[in-house]
Chain A
Amino acid sequence: MSARIGVITFPGTLDDGDAARAVRYAGGEAVPLWHADEDLREVDAVVVPGGFSYGDYLRAGVIARFAPVMTPVIEAARAGMPVLGICNGFQILCEAGLLPGAMIRNQGLHFICRDQWLRVENTDTAWTSRYETGAEILIPMKNIDGCYVAEQSTLDELEGEGHVVFRYVGGNPNGSRNDIAGIRSENGRVVGLMPHPEHAIDALTGPSDDGLGMFFSAVDALVKA
């Protein structure tokens, strides 16, 4: 039985197609979820993909966070369902309180679109078990609100507990505190990151296939479950 992984589409989502393709590449069944859905169609995990949900009006991710589909997502995530938030999806998970901190405008104000090296700092999550700790991966990033900030006490806790999952290497592109590119929840089931693993699943179309490991990791976690 293949793992059923939901991919949410909000008005303004851009990367649902690539996220669904990444799920299929990893051997999972991609299940489309719509922002107005009130149930999760019996999925085993959810990807909240990138884009500009609701035009980023008010604040990136805040309106999506109150979409009907997020009620069951938040409930299931708290109960241990794996959830991956990518870019705008990461912003939405922070707004929803599933991950700590927030993203603000990039230092320097540029929309940054480039292939970015990241170091995998924590492999004890539902989305990173296929990587080796310290591995460096190359995946695209493309955002303007990518500067990760949080209270000092939150940063200390993230660092102390090993909850920083991805860190920028080769220079901090956007001013993110502690070079943080991605983090995890307490239980390791929820992960959010600004760069886009779903765009790096095949060397034909991406800079590498380094992003595929996140989707394989989730499929592994679900098949074992």
Chain B
Amino acid sequence: MARVVVDVMPKPEILDPQGQAALGAAGRLGFTGITEIRQGKHFEIEVDDTVDDATLEKIAEGFLANPVIEQWTITRVDA
């Protein structure tokens, strides 16, 4: 068994209206010095030993993320 973390973020060139709204709100709340907020998704996946890296890549690219608008990283947290 292993835990795998997949982080999905909007591509840098894709507008992120939710991150922008959070950035604006942070300023209104009085938090200074924040220059950028981008909002993404964080998946924690428990897998057994039959799930190899190629399968994880397929899950991320074909399902958890949309390659048109998002990029992702896959991290095995413990083996």
The yes or no verdict on A and B being binding partners is yes
What's the Cα separation between A59 and B43 when bound, in Å? 13
Cβ contact within 8 Å between B64 and A109? no
Do A62 and B21 have beta carbons less than 8 Å apart?
no
- Is A150 interfacial (CB-CB < 8 Å)? yes
* A172 contacts the other chain (CB 8 A): no
Contact residue among B17, B63, B64 (Cβ-Cβ distance under 8 Å from A107): B17
Interface flag for A147 (CB, 8 Å): yes
Question: Nearest-CB distance from B58 to chain A (Å)?
Answer: 13
Provide the B51-79 mask, 1 if CB < 8 A to any CB of A, else 0: 00000000000011010110000000000
A104 within 8 A of B: yes
Q: Of A94, A102, A106, A107, which is in contact with the most chain B CB atoms at under 10 Å from its CB?
A: A102
Question: Do B69 and A102 have beta carbons less than 8 Å apart?
Answer: yes
Given A62-B63, A104-B10, the answer on whether A109 and B68 have CB atoms closer than 8 Å is: no
Q: Which residues of A contact B1 (CB under 8 A)?
A: none
Chain A's interface size range is 20 to 34
Identify whether the interface residues of B are mostly helix, strand, loop, or mixed: mixed
Within 8 A of A (CB), among B1-57: 10, 14-15, 17-18, 21
Measured between C-beta atoms, what is the minimum distance from B39 to chain A in Å? Answer: 10
Given the contacts A102-B69, A104-B10, A149-B69, A58 and B64 also touching, CB distance less than 8 Å: yes
Is the pair A108, B68 in contact by a Cβ cutoff of 8 Å?
Answer: no
Q: Are B15 and A104 in contact (CB under 8 A)?
A: yes
Complex Cα–Cα for A95 and B64 (A): 12
Contact residues of A between 59 and 96, Cβ < 8 Å to B: 59, 62, 66, 94-95
Instruction: Identify whether the interface residues of A are mostly helix, strand, loop, or mixed.
Output: loop
Bound complex: CA A143 to CA B66 (Å): 20
B17, B63, B64, B68: the one within 8 Å of A102 (CB): B68
Residue A105, interface by CB 8 Å: yes
- Does the CB pair A105–B18 fall under 8 Å? yes
Of B15, B21, B63, B64, which one neighbours A147 at CB under 8 angstroms? B15
User: Would you call A101 and B64 a contact (CB within 8 A)?
Assistant: no
**Contact at A102–B15, with CB atoms within 8 Å?**
no
Give, as a whole number of angstroms, the nearest-CB distance from B37 to chain A.
Answer: 14
B19 to A: closest C-beta gap in Å = 10
Which 8 pairs show the lowest CB-CB distances between chains A and B?
A: A102-B68, A102-B69, A105-B17, A109-B17, A107-B17, A102-B66, A109-B21, A105-B18
Interface CB pairs A-B, < 8 A, 8? A58-B63, A66-B63, A94-B68, A104-B17, A109-B21, A147-B15, A147-B17, A149-B68
- Seed contacts A58-B63, A66-B63, A147-B15; 4 additional CB < 8 Å A-B pairs: A102-B69, A106-B17, A147-B17, A149-B69
